[in-house]
Amino acid sequence: MKIVIAPDSFKGSLSSIQVANAIEQGFRKIIPDAEIIKMPMADGGEGTVECLVRATGGKIFREFATDPLGKAIKVHFGVLGDGETIIIEMASASGIILIPREKRNPLYTTTYGTGELIRKVLEKGYSKIILGLGGSATTDGGAGAMQALGIKLLGSDGVNIKQGGLFLKDIEKIDTSEVNKNLQKAEITFMYDVKNPLLGKKGAAKVYSPQKGASAKEVQILENNLEHFSRIVKRDMGKDIVSISGAGAAGGLGAGLSAICNSKFAAGIQLAIKITGLKEHLKNADMVITGEGELNFQSMFGKVPAGVAKLAKEMKVPAICFAGNVERNSEKLYKDYFKKIICLVSSDISKEDAIRNAFSILSSRAEEAAGLFKKGVLFET
């Protein structure tokens, strides 16, 4: 019997590796002799570096960079097993998990630290970079990262504007004369988990900035400022950053950076599937198990469970999904992909308890599923 375990993290409680370990532990209790292949997955957010480095036999390194509020912190990046490709997750330097809930406000958060990390990688002689765009605390259009890479975003006084989405309105001119020279030789792939555009009702500000602490009034300020920023970029750099699919990910980070370097956007889960070799591992599998912290409508658009399930369906491998919580009426969205969806939250277990005791509950749920699988009734409706 061959079982492939390919989950995302349960954000706020378990990394993707911990999720895979918990599921394996449960299945081993019932089916101890099964061949279990653990392939923790990611789509560009927190855990992407660990996932891809682990899958390819690469290495993780540490550096100092600026966090979203301007404080120096230790961050990480990785080099894949080929020894040439760098993997960075913007969440490491500019992620929302770095800021206490009461201090979150995308008017003042910056991607400067992510730009610093890219600059340090370039200085080490690397030129091939994959940048994960998930989990951001920012809506600055990548302006902070651009500044860290030598771009001057000048106000009417001829001085670099302050950092944060609030100050994009102050840009009068973009000066590229001192852009980091190593950037010209770099090739950056932006690994996104959402296809949202930069502007509009489905854009970076209106969809995601409320989750980062913006009020309704502040959302409109950010929308207006991103629009102003995009106009200046087009005028001074000849780049249209509005029409790019995925430009709204990470508060527009990829949009801004795409104007100053050789880059492309790629769906995060598809890139992860390719790098980890998941398709090869699914050959002759009896089942694939995936999962994430919350299964909802958005999960079908570029998230790990949907990507894994679609590949499994193509290869005729039954797929089941474990989720910390399942949004009401979401299950019917997945009936074409999952044979079973198993939720940690129940009438006896609150969402808070599920987060607090995620490993033990997940392991127990996996043990129950393994029992049903052994009896041949797991996939029955």
Whether the predicted pLDDT of 333 surpasses 90: no
What is the rounded CA–CA span in Å between residue 33 and residue 52?
Answer: 27
Share of the chain above pLDDT 90, in %: 87
Q: What is the pLDDT of residues 243-255, one digit of tens each?
A: 899 999 999 999 9
196 and 243 in a single domain? The answer is: yes
166 and 307 in a single domain? The answer is: no
Last residue of a domain, one of 242, 269, 296: 269
Q: How many helices (H) and strands (E) does the chain have?
A: 12, 13
Whether the predicted pLDDT of 56 surpasses 70: yes
Q: What is the pLDDT of residues 91-128, one digit of tens each?
A: 999 999 999 999 999 999 999 999 999 999 999 999 99
| Banded model confidence at residue 294, pLDDT cuts 50, 70, 90 | confident
Look at residue 243 and give its three-state secondary structure: coil
133 and 7 in a single domain? The answer is: no
Instruction: Please name the residues in contact with 43: beta carbons below 8 A apart, sequence gap of 6 or more.
Output: 8, 132, 134, 191, 193, 267, 268, 269, 272, 302, 303, 304, 307
131 and 226 in a single domain? The answer is: yes
Token pair listed for 368: 């129950």
DSSP 261-293: SEEEEEEHHHHHHHHHTHHHHTTT-SEEEEEEE
Which pLDDT does position 259 carry in this prediction? 96
Q: What is the pLDDT of residues 142-191, one digit of tens each?
A: 999 999 999 999 999 999 999 999 999 999 999 999 999 999 899 999 99
What is the rounded CA–CA span in Å between residue 142 and residue 163?
Answer: 10
In a domain, residue 381? The reply is: no
Look at residue 301 and give its three-state secondary structure: coil
- Global pTM reads 0.92
In a domain, residue 380? The reply is: no
Whether the predicted pLDDT of 19 surpasses 70: yes
- The CATH number given to whatever domain includes residue 302 is 3.40.50.10350
Which pLDDT does position 301 carry in this prediction? 65
Q: What is the pLDDT of residues 185-221, one digit of tens each?
A: 999 999 998 889 999 999 999 999 999 999 999 999 9
What is the rounded CA–CA span in Å between residue 64 and residue 92?
Answer: 11
- Return contacts of 279-286, CB within 8 angstroms, 24+ apart: 279/311, 279/315, 281/4, 281/37, 281/39, 282/4, 282/311, 282/312, 282/315, 282/317, 283/315, 284/2, 285/2, 285/3, 285/4, 285/37, 285/315, 285/317, 286/1, 286/2, 286/3, 286/317, 286/318
Range of the domain at 54: 48-269
- The CATH number given to whatever domain includes residue 110 is 3.90.1510.10
Phi, psi (degrees; rounded to nearest 5) at 31: -125, 70
203 and 139 in a single domain? The answer is: yes
Last residue of a domain, one of 243, 269, 295: 269
Q: Of 53-57, 58-62, 272-276, 337-341, give the lowest mean pLDDT range.
A: 337-341
Share of the chain above pLDDT 70, in %: 97
